[in-house]
Structure 1
Amino acid sequence: MKKTSRKQSAGTKKREELLKLYESSLKIVSEGEITKGRIVKITPSDVIVDVGLKSEGIVSRSEFKGPISEGDEIEVLIEDIENDEGVAVLSKEKADFAKAWEKVKHAHETNEVVKGKLLRKVKGGAIVDLFGVNAFLPTSQIDLYLVKEPDRVLKDEIRLRIISLSERNKNIIVSRRAVIEEERQRKREKVLQELERGEIKEGVVKNITDFGAFIEIDGVDGLLHITDMSWGRVSHPSQVLSIGDAVKVMILDVDRENERLSLGLKQMTPNPWGDIEQRYPVGSKTRGKVVNIMDYGAFIEIEQGVDGLVHISEMSWTQRIKHPSQIMSIGDEVEAVVLNIDKENERLSLGLKQAEIDPWINLEERFPVGSVHTGRARSLVSYGAFIELEKGITGLVHISDMLWVKRITHPSQLLKRGEKVDVVILNIDKKNRRISLGLKQSLEDPWKSLKDKYKEGKIVATHISRILDRGIEVTVEDGIEAFIPLSRLKVKTSEDLGKKYKVGDELKLKVVDIIKEHRRLILTEKSKTVNG
């Protein structure tokens, strides 16, 4: 009996030792931890994994995306060390997510650039795979400019920066734009340090405004101002460039502090004003195209980059031009003479009329004073009539030089516009380019023979033409007009004039005298002569 009892005691002791040895071989893990395990069995619905616990654990077969085999070592997260069925509940997906989340956190904390892959487009952006975790890439963060088709840009691996992370909701927001901007900034700084004034660089036109064009050179935007596009006249930058054009420009200035470039296009070619005086000496003739018309003159382009102004006063020797559009239009080709060069201010004065012979030079030979010529009435004004003697040569017949005897108040009483008349050259003022003409001088002066016809004491028939405050005006048969003062009329006061005399009435008057030098006929109504 004693012998049997000793055997039992020895067996119990051995079992306890074996149990201790088994228990010491088991892992000490907690729920929520990630541990390594080995696949021991694969079924259609589950994968049995030995993670060193008392019992083997189960992982859903759906958590495995790729091929697996028995004996493979994997990492899993322990969700429950032992469930009601005495089995450990494990998750490979949660283990993978936890590991990936740690990588995401580290990348966010260290501001590290990470690589991702496009999974699918969603409203407002795209979902990308980041270490096996889904992250949201907003449309505004895909590129520097709005991208309508993300999948055309997001190919292969995408370099991203994590810009927002939520531990609570496990949300991740990433940006590709931030990476591009950083790379662009580094490149911009490098380019700005290397660029020098006077360098020739090729760039691409990114934008066009009224004042110039923005050109990107190696990631740096530079302004090509409209004044630096051409030596010639440019109304708008779109006349020279289009968006997307590749163009070579000169670096005019580098502002490294404000990261700005000033660019030049015209500086790529020689300044046409450099030797302007040699190519277009003062007095030389040249041809050009009308490029702009103003009230005061017209701008003529004689070559690209060189415009000259023809002032309105330099357009014609003879015509009185009110606006340049009377004789030219934009696009017309004209011949002009160089009058003056202001090289410093890049201004050129041209003359149109100087390209022709000045008709006033030998005018006195063709129209000597006293000669008679036939002209055409071009315009009638209150003080006279302008008569065109030949194309561009016009003279004035003053109203006082129209008739010898009859007084008129307006030239239209005698002439019609366009009517041909004979005139006499009375005077030529070459300095002020004026010609005085006479109409009555082409006719015989009737006053030369009137002395014999109207002798003193002769009674003549007249007709009253006007009644004035101080007397009356009458007309005799030859059209001669005479003024009869109140003292030579048979009335006592001016109030009596309107009572006794009527315009158109015939009135018999006596000749007192005729003063030929002053072209004056003196008449009286009284029988007794009163001097004055």
Structure 2
Amino acid sequence: MMDKMIGFDDGSEEDFATLLEQSFKKNEGGKLTNGVIVNIKDDQVTVDVGEKVEGKINISEITLPDGSIVFKVGDKIPVMFNGYRNERPMISYKSAIKASKQKEFAEQNSDFETREIIVKGKIVKENKGGYIVESEDGLEFFMPRSQSGLKKDEKVLGKVITAAVIKVDTAENSVLISRVKLIREKQKAKKDAINEILENPQPLQATIKSVASFGIFVEAGGVDGLVRYDEISFKGPINPVNSFKVGESVYVKAISYDKEKNRVAFSIKAAASDPWDEIRDELEVGDTVKAVVSNIEDYGAFLDLGNDIEGFLHISEISWKKNLKHPNEVLKVGQELTVEITEIDFEKRKLRMSLKKLLAKPFDSFKQKHKIGDVVSGKVLNLTDFGAFLDIGEVEGLLHNEDASWSRDFKCKDSFKAGDTLEVKIIKIDTEKEKVSLSLKELADSPVAEFSKTHKFGDVVNGTVRDIKDFGVFVELGHNIDGLIPNDELYPRKKEEILKGDKVDCVIVNIAPESGKIRLSIKRLQKEKDREAVKKFNDQSDESSFSNDLKDRLGS
């Protein structure tokens, strides 16, 4: 509330009548009288005013702007008699007209105490007591310094002011005016208007005076104020520049008053019913609603549900596509959508929605159309250290480095770039994790396939230990051809004694050309060796026994 108006220094208790008399004091003998024009010659007009010598005025005093002369010889005119100079009367027609107007004004406004009289004029002179103010029609008023409301050091000559009449002296035809009185009356009127507006529970019609990004300036009930950008809509902060124009009418309600800024804060929201209260019993999580896209940002879209309710659709809830980079790839402003309510916070006035929840899962559709072993076309989306992700239509698939080439050192990021199109084979569909694994190398002949043409089960091979894993030892049998000796097939060798680069003899126990895998065994080779040793020993034992028997028979 306003409880204090701007104060002014009243100074000492001045005698306004004295100031009035000092400011408008005339020269002794100054009076209004009538005269008769007796001669007009060149730029001089001679006037008989009843004195021994005629007075003279400049012809410009009776000449109109168009050059015509108002009077002629013989005409009677009013003049102001201001004394003598070398026995010649000093007279002025303009001063007489001015004095007549001054007198007329004083007489017409002598009832100044019963009504408010407002005048407007320019400060033309300054003296110790105050200021002389002259109106457009030549009237002069005196404004005491204490009634001016002007700063002491302020440059005031030429300043146009508006003031109220506070005293009229009809005897002297002088008028005293006060700017302070008018300012205080305006302040009081504004204070009363503000108090009335603050106490008024009803919405007020306001006119927009100015629009800025931070709010709109309005005038309501004679009071100016600001509607901040966050007091406009229940949707949240908005940029008023996009929604309002100067001169438009809006309904507002006063919500606070800033004494320091002398400004009322208005609210458009407070003047309307809260739409969130209206939907409290109508909407709940899981409901589907129709909404219109009102704004699109990098991180999602805002949807208008109507009735000043707005919800947020995060980019992750727009589509099942994982590579959606911007909402405008799918949405556009003004588009109508059917969405599902996923979160409602009535206290914070926040509402979240999902579009993809109402769409069929791409993975389910993919499973119905494809199976392991299918060959599909895919576009490279992005590359990583371990492989490449491909868009294979409705879902993404992973092409791991080891499935991209039969070469063990192959890296997808060194051979492909985003946007490349590849023909790949589906080698795994993980329903639980909704992941698809792809292979490029299975569409090409493997080195193992060539190896299998010259090698078979049971062949003994010699290789070099290339790598040692927890589950076994990889042995290199040729370029890009490895065989695995599982831990349980290493006997009689001890794993901890085997080093990379060691040469080992082993036997082939399985070749899978389609997967490029070879299974080896030292254990089986050792068994073969043991079997051959036993057989040889047995053969030798049988031969010795036969020889001994023959000798016995011959010797008998």
Q: What's the TM-score once normalised by structure 1's chain length?
A: 0.58
Letter in 2 for 1:91: I
CA–CA distance in structure 1, aligned partners of residues 257 and 185 of structure 2? 20
Q: Which amino acid in the other structure matches residue 191 of structure 1?
A: A
User: Residues 167-206 of structure 1 correspond to what in structure 2 (within 5 A)?
Assistant: 184-195=186-197, 196-206=199-209
CA separation in 2, counterparts of 1:414 and 1:73?
111
Aligned partners of 1:176, 1:209: CA distance in 2, in Å?
Answer: 37
Q: Look up the SS of the partner of 2:191 in the other structure.
A: helix
User: How far off is 1:308 after superposition?
Assistant: 1.7
Q: Please point out which of 67, 82, 86 is paired with 1:77.
A: 82
For residues 406 and 258 of structure 1, the distance between their equivalents in structure 2, rounded to whole angstroms, comes to 77
- Once the 2 structures are TM-superposed, how far is the Cα of residue 177 of structure 1 from its aligned partner? 9.3
Matching residue's letter, 2:308 = G
CA distance in 2, matches of 1:58, 1:235: 80
User: Following the alignment from structure 2 to structure 1, what is the Cα–Cα distance between the partners of residues 259 and 292?
Assistant: 43
Take 2:273 and 2:164, find their aligned partners in 1: how far apart are those partners?
Answer: 49
Q: CA deviation at 1:78?
A: 2.6
Q: Secondary structure at the match of 1:266?
A: coil
Deviation at 1:377, TM superposition (A): 3.5
Closer/same/farther in 2, CA of residues 352 and 511 from structure 1, 3 Å limit: same
What residue in structure 2 maps to residue 128 of structure 1? 136
Aligned-residue offset at 1:515 = 4.0
Higher relative contact order (CA closer than 8 Å, sequence separation 6+): 2
Relative distance call for 1:72 and 1:283 in structure 2 (3 A) is closer
Q: Is the 8 A contact 2:475 2:482 kept in 1?
A: no
Deviation at 1:142, TM superposition (A): 4.4
Q: CA deviation at 1:351?
A: 0.8
Q: Is the 8 A contact 1:250 1:264 kept in 2?
A: yes
Partners of 1:447 and 1:406 lie apart in 2 by 14
Could you tell me which residue of structure 2 aligns to residue 91 of structure 1?
91
- Is the CA contact 1:41–1:48 (under 8 Å) kept in the aligned structure 2? yes
Distance 1:455 1:37 in 2: 147
Give the whole-Å Cα distance in 2 for the aligned partners of 1:384 and 1:116.
86
User: Given the alignment of the two structures, is residue 378 of structure 1 paired with residue 383 of structure 2, yes or no?
Assistant: no
- How far did residue 77 of structure 1 move? 3.0
Report the CA distance between 1:182 and its aligned residue.
6.0
CA distance in 1, matches of 2:416, 2:90: 122
| Matching of residue 43 in structure 1 with residue 48 in structure 2 | no
Code of the residue aligned with 2:48 in structure 1: it is: V
* Aligned residue number for residue 342 of structure 1: 345
Secondary structure in 1 aligned to 2:241? helix
Q: How far off its partner does 1:334 sit?
A: 3.1
CA shift digits 1:468-524 (9 cap, x unpaired): xx9994428xx744599xxx9xxxxx9x99xxxxxxxxxxx997412439834479x
Letter in 2 for 1:310: L
Query: Does structure 2 retain, via aligned residues, the 8 Å contact 1:384–1:396?
Result: yes
Show CA shifts across 1:51-80 (max 9, x none).
xxxxx5644376996989999998733326
Deviation track 1:202-256 (CA, whole Å, cap 9, x = no partner) reads 3433322221122233543211112222334664322232233344432233456
- Decide whether aligned partners of structure 1 residues 304 and 126 sit closer, same or farther in structure 2, where only a CA change above 3 A counts: farther
- Given the alignment, which residue of 389, 392, 395 partners 1:393? 395
DSSP 3-state at the match of 1:273 = helix
Assess, with a 3 A threshold, how the Cα gap between structure 1 residues 47 and 366 changes in structure 2: closer, same or farther: same
Tell me which residue corresponds to 1:241. 244
Structure 2: unaligned runs, 5 residues or longer: 1-25, 40-45, 63-69, 123-132, 144-154, 166-175, 468-472, 486-492, 494-498, 512-516, 523-527, 531-556
Query: Partners in 1 of 2:211 and 2:322 — Cα distance?
Result: 44
CA distance in 2 between counterparts of 1:456 and 1:98 reads 136
Kept after mapping to 2: 8 A contact 1:213/1:226: yes
Contact 2:208-2:219 within 8 A present in 1 as well: yes
Q: 1:176 to 1:201 in 2, by over 3 A?
A: farther
Q: What residue is the counterpart of 2:28 in the other structure?
A: 33
User: Is this contact kept in 1: 2:378–2:421, CA < 8 A?
Assistant: yes
Measure, in 2, the Cα distance between the counterparts of 1:203 and 1:347: 29
Q: CA deviation at 1:345?
A: 0.9
1:327 is matched with: 330
Residue in 2 aligned with 1:269? 272
Q: Which residue of 1 aligns with 2:311?
A: 308
**1:283 paired residue among 275, 282, 286:** 286
Per-residue CA shift, 1:427-465, capped at 9, x if unaligned? 4333xx32345678899997998998253457x9x9x9x
Q: Does 1:208 align with 2:211?
A: yes
Is 1:60 the equivalent of 2:60? no
* Contact 2:366 2:395 (C-alpha < 8 Å) held by counterparts: no
Q: Which residue of 2 aligns with 1:513?
A: 507
Q: How many residues align?
A: 416
Tell me if the contact between 1:251 and 1:262 (Cα under 8 Å) persists in the aligned partners: yes
Residues in 1 aligned to 2:120 and 2:389: alpha-carbon distance in whole angstroms: 91
User: Matched residues in 1 for 2:357 and 2:287: separation?
Assistant: 10
CA distance in 2, matches of 1:437, 1:92: 112
- Distance (Å, rounded) in 1 between the aligned partners of 2:237 and 2:288: 25
CA RMSD of aligned residues (A): 5.9
**Bigger CA drift: 92-101 or 310-319?**
92-101
The answer on whether the counterparts of 1:76 and 1:94 sit within 8 Å (CA) in structure 2 is no
* Equivalences for residues 431-510 of structure 1 within 5 A: 433-436=434-437, 453-457=456-460, 473-475=476-478, 480-481=481-482
Judge conservation of contact 1:36–1:73 (CA < 8 Å) in 2. no
C-alpha distance in 2 between matches for 1:272 and 1:336: 19
User: For the residues of structure 1 that align with 2:367 and 2:186, how far apart are their CA atoms?
Assistant: 80
